[in-house]
Amino acid sequence: MVTQRFNCGNHHLMIPNTLKISALALALAISSSSSFGATLQDLSTTLKQATKNDPQWASTVHGYHASKESIGIFSAGLKPQVSLSAEVSRENGYLNGSGENRYNQETYIATVVQPLFRLDRWHNHQKGNATEQRIDAGFIANQQAFYMRVVKTYLDVLRSNENLQFRNAEKAAIKRQLEQTVQRFNVGLIANTDVQEAKAAYDISSVQQIIAEQDLALTLQNLETLTGAPIENVASLQANAPITPPSPQDITQWVETALTNSPVIAVALHAKDIAQSEYKSKRAVHMPTLDLIGSYVARDTSDESDTSPGDLSSSSVSIKLEIPIYSGGSISAERRQAKQLQLQAEDNYNLRKREVIQNTRNLYRVVNTDVARVSAQNQSIHSAEEALKATEAGYDAGTRAIIDVLTAQQALYGAKRDYANARYDYFFDFLQLKQTAGTLNSDDLAHINQWLVPQTAQ
């Protein structure tokens, strides 16, 4: 470990110079996880890479297409059913006085069944239409959740990066304060207590810096896992990025938009329609069914000597009426079960509506709070800077202790970290508001991307 030596009278104070070492270690860790060709990473690039490489999103897309294929199953019961069959048999027969005869027979049958009245299958067809709409709405909800996952992963890197910068700056400031404190102690201006307090603050800042480095490495790894690409540089948020209240500035309009556009509500609504069609289908099983049936049969029969060959062909068209009477009670039980499931789906729909209304209102208030919070945190930085200057002046005049200066420094950098987090919270919460309202799309991410500037992610 590299150390710096400070002379404190008859004592030598050893201070680990971990600032440069830890920064170098972080640079090596990042470079080792990056390969040749790594480029500047911004939010738009992250979204493109995640869309192409993220296995979780790929699984969602494939599941969506698989679900869409099931739509045809619901309408199949209303379409003609065509079947072909062939049979080859060998038969033994006896005639009076002629002994045993053996016959070979080939039979070919073609059958067409066209449902004429199948009320249960009609409702099942309607269920398929509602299922398709639910699948589409669910995909939109999953897509918006994917956008939020991309944003969160990217903003986590920016948070960790900025936090590390503040920890480095805080540690450097405490180190300078420690050096000045040692010099004052060497000339007998202060007691050793001040030196030890400064040394303790420096050690604590070293630990916090190590933790910040680890957090950055973890968030970078999460970003690489999401994009499937090496990450070396990330674009950071500009200092003048706009922090404005949500537009329109009317909570009622946001709620109305959510009730109209929310895919969560749409999924619950179509699920309710599915349950209703399922109940109607089960109820219709009691109804008579009517099918149109056409068939063609061809038989070719011959004996071993081929002396008595015979061909037979026939065709028929019929209408089949079937009236269900009793099936052990299963039909009635399934109908009652479907009714309860329909009521459950209606309850879930009402629950989702209330949750969306609640979340929209809460997030609207949170975003407005974030706006005020960013402004207040920015003002707190200026206040903390003035407080630090006054404390340092008091320390120079002998009216304040070193611990007061260290506390003021920690308050300043804490205010800077809180300000940075407040800005990131604003953008994330604002996108969450749009997600809840059902209006979030890739253009919203592109808008944020306009306020990102290149910066090394170290």
Element (DSSP H or E) covering residue 404: helix 402-437
Domain spanning 3-69+119-286+329-456: CATH superfamily: Outer membrane efflux proteins (OEP) (1.20.1600.10)
Does the structural domain 80-117+288-323 have CATH classification 2.20.200? yes
According to DSSP, the residues that pair with 302 across neighbouring strands are 104
pTM, two decimals, is 0.81
DSSP labels for 151-219? HHHHHHHHHHHHHHHHHHHHHHHHHHHHHHHHHHHHTTSS-HHHHHHHHHHHHHHHHHHHHHHHHHHHH
Nearest one of 174, 208, 201, 196 to 13, comparing CA atoms: 196
Spans of all domains in the chain: 3-69+119-286+329-456, 80-117+288-323
Output b/e per residue, 25-38; b: 16+ Cβ within 10 A. ebeebbeeebeeeb
The pLDDT profile of the chain, 458 residues, written as one tens digit per residue, is 344 444 444 444 444 443 343 443 344 344 444 433 445 799 999 999 999 999 999 999 999 999 998 888 888 888 899 999 998 887 766 555 555 667 788 889 999 999 999 888 888 888 889 999 999 999 999 999 999 999 999 999 999 999 999 999 999 999 998 898 898 888 888 888 888 998 999 999 999 999 999 999 999 999 999 999 988 889 999 999 999 999 999 999 999 999 999 999 999 999 999 999 988 888 888 899 899 999 999 988 776 555 555 678 889 999 999 998 888 888 889 899 999 999 999 999 999 999 999 999 999 999 999 999 999 999 999 999 999 999 999 988 888 888 898 999 999 999 999 999 999 999 999 999 999 999 999 999 999 999 998 764 33
